[in-house]
Amino acid sequence: MTEQSSEPVQQVNKKIKRIVEALLFSAEQPMSVAQLQAVFPELERPERVIIEAAVDALCDDYKNQAIGLHKVASGYRFQVKTDMAPWVARLFSEKPPKYSRALLETIAIIAYQQPVTRADIEEIRGVSVSSNMIHTLLDREWVKVVAHKEAPGRPALYATTAQFLDYFNLDSLAAMPPLQELQALALEGEMEI
């Protein structure tokens, strides 16, 4: 963008902020700053810092609203705030999916120990892992094969994906609770892991 007086820049920022807001409301998936920037025609494309400023301003605008702009692994998305979720859930006749303990244990092992093989998961869990469970995680795109271990049979090494982080409302693996914290809750009987 070219240097202009401060007043036109304010107007451009407001316009860009409105465009970014519309894009994020309309998008079916979270959008990164680069994806937002790419929507603009090349000759009108604002600099990355201007898009980031618009996103920051939107986050601030929605701070005290029932919905908010939230950063997840693959970008930004509008979502209902946690305290409003029970009310919004009443709109939907579908029950949220229930996941088996085995599936949750398996995805937790992959998330905390990645990359891991199926044999690694079985060793940690102490029971065999069904092929269907691995296929379910692959189909949901929560895990992917990132490599093959240099061992007999060249077993697949699994790791989590951005879709896993998005589903569990995390912006990175570092946002997951420390494993020690989960183990402490399990020992206190508040949670099974």
Is domain 101-187 classified as CATH 1.10.10.10? yes
How much is the average pLDDT of 39-64?
A: 92
pLDDT over 50 at 38, yes or no: yes
pLDDT at 189: 52
- Kindly report the CA angle at 160 between 105 and 162, in degrees rounded to 5? 130
Distance between start and end Cα atoms, the chain = 52
Q: Where are the domains of the chain?
A: 6-89, 101-187
pLDDT at 67: 94
pLDDT at 191: 46
In angstroms, how far is CA 123 from the centroid of its own chain?
Answer: 28
> Which range has the worst mean pLDDT, 61-65, 66-70, 132-136, 185-189?
185-189
Among 1.10.10.10, 1.20.1290.10, 3.40.50.360, 1.10.3720.10, what is the CATH number of 6-89?
Answer: 1.10.10.10
Q: Which residue has the higher pLDDT, 70 or 3?
A: 70
Asked if the domains 6-89 and 101-187 are classified in one and the same CATH topology, the answer is: yes
Hey, which bits of the chain come out as E strands? 67-72, 75-80, 143-148, 156-160
Q: Rounded to two decimals, what is the model's pTM?
A: 0.65
Residue 191: both structure tokens together = 């949670």
Cα–Cα dist 60/155, whole Å: 47
Query: Percent of the chain beyond pLDDT 70?
Result: 86
Q: Which of 28, 1, 26, 29 is nearest to 13 (CA)?
A: 1
Cα–Cα dist 133/115, whole Å: 17
Query: Percent of the chain beyond pLDDT 90?
Result: 56
